[in-house]
Structure 1
């Protein structure tokens, strides 16, 4: 699969319906889809609770459905999975609503799946803008997250803004005008590495949407807690597309015990 083929390969997968959906607020996007563990050739393997955060540069045009095949894949490996939605730019989101929703969605997922795993503290998996949100959520003082797997994340928000990624998506997220530098600093993961929470970053060397340099910059700022795994020849979407070799790497990292 070429880099150009990655996006249509992911978006061409049929969405997988969840086992149930729970709401954590009154807005239509304040939802968490739950996928219960399923056996894959035998009894479900014990594994962590997984919370997935989708990308799309924080915009309402992109929702959680494109990550539902990944959620189902992980559930098929015996993992309880929560695929969180959140308010996004253009539909009631942006700062601070998007950040507040991610926090509330993680808490709702933990409550809804309590007892579903021998490891009740969640692993947070975020792709692209969802990787940014995962890194930021794991840095909150009272986070329940035990580890983060950030895939092609917007890990350096200031650099992303300077590059004008996706036609100024960072500015749309944070809002222009007075106080923008302060909002940017507060929402930039590279300035707020999560204390005591290990981070693994997966990033393709040929990613045309979120440059690998953003992940390298994040890893250089927090080398004690961050492992960066570069995927040669891989673009932006293959790591979250079930059936691709790079997605197999992701699944293997999610399924490993937290202590290893």
Structure 2
């Protein structure tokens, strides 16, 4: 049996999250939280409905899950709104910790595709202060708030520079950042998870061997660049395509769930 509670973290219709909670014995606390961040190349075509089955499944397996919605391009997001929302949405957990008996000692993000980018980016928030762009549209609130203690990236777009070079999804990166890197180099560097390396938390880059939507290099280039850091990222190859990673019946997703559980222990 699970319980669901929806909370707003801002005034925009897309600034909300839904908390999925397993039943606990009286007086017990949930051991950590999983922040589920959906993909869709940062566009408004896709929303938190993609993350809902994952959050429900995680709760059914004893984990508190926060299915996070955020502004995307086409509905007020992009630069800097999407980035502000991811941080503010994660930070909302601080308000929910006491009333919902959440232990924020371990907060793990599970992000799919563009959501994997946002999850790994948020994990490096404490490294971003020196990268704040000077050309306007600055993201607020970088070095305070709730810190992620681990990330499972599900075919995440983890190398934004390479994604722009490849023009993935018809120029999705330039669309997200309201212009190309030739025009806004600082903004692009700030938004790229590669710029925050090395991290001191574990990152699992999970990739489906039949993925035809996001190239393998989005994961391998990040993992390779992380190897000199204190906690190198790990590449995990799984069966299936891009969407097997968010199919709660597929082996690819079951591997992701097991990795999330490992990070919460």
TM-score scaled by length of structure 1: 0.85
Q: Which runs of 5+ in 2 are unaligned?
A: 127-142
1:246 is aligned to 2:252: yes
State the distance in 2 between where 1:156 and 1:109 align. Answer: 28
My pick for the range that moved more, 199-208 or 111-120, is 111-120
1:133-212 superposed matches below 5 A: 133-141=118-126, 142=143, 144-176=147-179, 179-193=183-197, 195-212=199-216
Q: CA deviation at 1:36?
A: 0.9
My pick for the range that moved more, 66-75 or 135-144, is 135-144
1:1-260 superposed matches below 5 A: 19-38=4-23, 47-114=31-98, 116-118=101-103, 120-141=105-126, 142=143, 144-176=147-179, 179-193=183-197, 195-223=199-227, 224-231=231-238, 233-258=239-264
Q: What's the CA shift string for 1:84-116, capped at 9, x where partnerless?
A: 111100110001110000000001134324463
Structure 1 residues 139 and 37: alpha-carbon distance in aligned structure 2, compared to 1, 3 A threshold: same
State the distance in 2 between where 1:153 and 1:122 align. Answer: 18
Aligned-partner SS, 2:79 = coil
Q: CA deviation at 1:255?
A: 1.3
State the distance in 1 between where 2:219 and 2:149 align. Answer: 20
Q: CA deviation at 1:20?
A: 1.4
Q: CA deviation at 1:31?
A: 0.2
State the distance in 1 between where 2:20 and 2:209 align. Answer: 31
Aligned residues: 238
Aligned-partner SS, 2:106 = strand
State the distance in 1 between where 2:123 and 2:200 align. Answer: 10
Instruction: Work out whether residues 29 and 101 of structure 2, in 8 Å CA contact, stay in contact via their aligned partners in 1.
Output: no
Q: Which runs of 5+ in 1 are unaligned?
A: 1-16
Instruction: Work out whether residues 203 and 215 of structure 1, in 8 Å CA contact, stay in contact via their aligned partners in 2.
Output: yes
TM-score scaled by length of structure 2: 0.83
